[in-house]
Amino acid sequence: MLVTKPHLFTAEAERPAAPPVYVTLPDIEAAAVRIAGRVPRTPLVSSPSLSRLCGQPVHLKLETRQPIGAFKLRGAMNAVLALGQEQRQRGLVTASTGNHGRAVAYTARELGLRATICMSALVPANKIEAIRSLGAQVRIVGRSQDDAQVEVERLVDEDGLTQIPPFDHPEVVAGQGTIGLELVEDLPELALVLVPLSGGGLAGGIAAAIKALRPKARVIGISMERGAAMAAAIAAGRPVEVVEEETLADSLGGGIGLSNRITFALCRDLIDDVVLLSEAEIAAGIRHAAREEGEIVEGAGAVGIAALLARKVSPRGPTAVIVSGRNIDEAVHRRIVSGAAA
C-alpha cells in the first residue's frame, strides 16, 4: 500500500463484480484525434528535486502550459467538437469552479460560439475575470457549484442552451483521458500516476487510459481535506452531498452530483487509492513548485507534489505527477511562496 489507512478510501465491499464502463480506450483515442491541432500536447519533464526526495524517477505533466493554463481545455474542446452544428449554435452553458468555465469560454471564442458560465461566489475573482476576458457571459449564483448548476439547468430549459458539463460527460472525460495516452507514450515504464481528484473527469479519464494500456500501473487520486466530494462518495459507496468549503485547492471544490452517471463509477473502480491533504500541505506544494521547479501552480495543480512532500505517497517506480493548472491569484501566490501560513 502506498498510503496509510486514515487517508485511504476504497469501499471494497461495495464494488460490483462487473462494474459499468462508460468511457473506454477507443473513446479516448477518438478524442485525441478530434482535438489534435486545437489543444497542445503538454511536456512531461523530470523533477530532479522530487526524484531525489522519493528515490525514484518523478516527472511532472505540465498542463499549466495549456493556452488557458489548465487541463480542462481537452475535455471542453472534445465535447464541443463532438456536437452537431445546431447544438453548437444554440449557445453553450456550464457550471464551473473556474477552469472548466475558462475552457468552455476559450473553445466558444475559437469556434465563434456564444457561452454562458455559471459560478458560485466561492470562485476566485481572477478566474471570473479571465472568463469574462474571453467574451463569455458570467453569472454568479449562490455559494456552491450545485447552486450554479441549478442556474445552468434553468438556462437549458428556458433558453435552449447546450450544456457542457464540467466532468460527468463522456466526451469531457474522454478529452481529459488524452493525458493518459501522452503519459504512456512519453514514459512507457510508468508505474504510478498522481492525479488531482475532484468531480472525477480528469482522474477517471486518465485512469481509463492508464489501466487499459498499463494495467499494473497505479493511479492515486489526490484531494483536499475540506469538502472532497469524490473521496466522500467513494468512502460511502455512492454519490453523496458534501459542504463546499473555501480551500487553496479551489478548483477541486464542488459536488459530483447525486445522479452522477459516469465519473463516480470510473473513479470507484479504477483509482487505486485516495489521499487527502491539509491546507498547509497544499501550500507547501505550491511553494515547492515555485522555488524548486520554477512553475506557478494553483492549489489544485500542486496536490500531487504536495502528497510526495508530505510522504503520503511512496513511489515504487517511475512516477508522473499531473500538474493540472496555474490559475492562482497573484497575491495569494506571493503570500504562499514567501512562506506565510496557509
Q: Give residue 12's pLDDT.
A: 38
Residue 71 to residue 175: CA distance in whole angstroms: 9
Residue 245 to residue 97: CA distance in whole angstroms: 12
Summarize the confidence of residues 56-70 as an average pLDDT. 98
DSSP annotation of 251: G
Residue 236 to residue 119: CA distance in whole angstroms: 27
pLDDT at 1 over 60: no
Domain positions in the chain are 5-71+169-337, 73-163
14 vs 47: which has the higher pLDDT: 47
Q: Per residue in 196-221, pLDDT tens?
A: 999 999 999 999 999 999 999 999 99
Q: Per residue in 305-330, pLDDT tens?
A: 999 999 999 999 999 999 999 999 99
Phi, psi of 322 (to 5 degrees): -80, 110
Residue 237 to residue 64: CA distance in whole angstroms: 33
Phi, psi of 217 (to 5 degrees): -70, 145
Instruction: Domain 73-163: give its CATH architecture.
Output: 3-Layer(aba) Sandwich (3.40)
Do domains 5-71+169-337 and 73-163 share one topology? The answer is: yes
pLDDT at 11 over 50: no
All residues at 6 or more sequence positions from 257 whose CB lies less than 8 Å from its CB, including other chains = 149, 168, 239
Q: Choose the CATH number for 5-71+169-337 among 1.10.1060.10, 3.30.1490.100, 3.40.50.300, 3.40.50.1100.
A: 3.40.50.1100
Half-sphere exposure of 318 (CA within 13 A, CB side): 14
107 vs 341: which has the higher pLDDT: 107
Name the β-bridge partners of 275.
222
Instruction: Determine contact, residues 164/92, Cβ cutoff 8 Å.
Output: yes
Q: pTM score, two decimals?
A: 0.92
Could you tell me the CA-to-CA distances from 265 to 2, 194, 339 in Å, in that order?
A: 22, 19, 39
Phi, psi of 252 (to 5 degrees): -95, 5
- Is residue 61 within a helix (H) or strand (E), and if so which, with residue range? strand 58-62
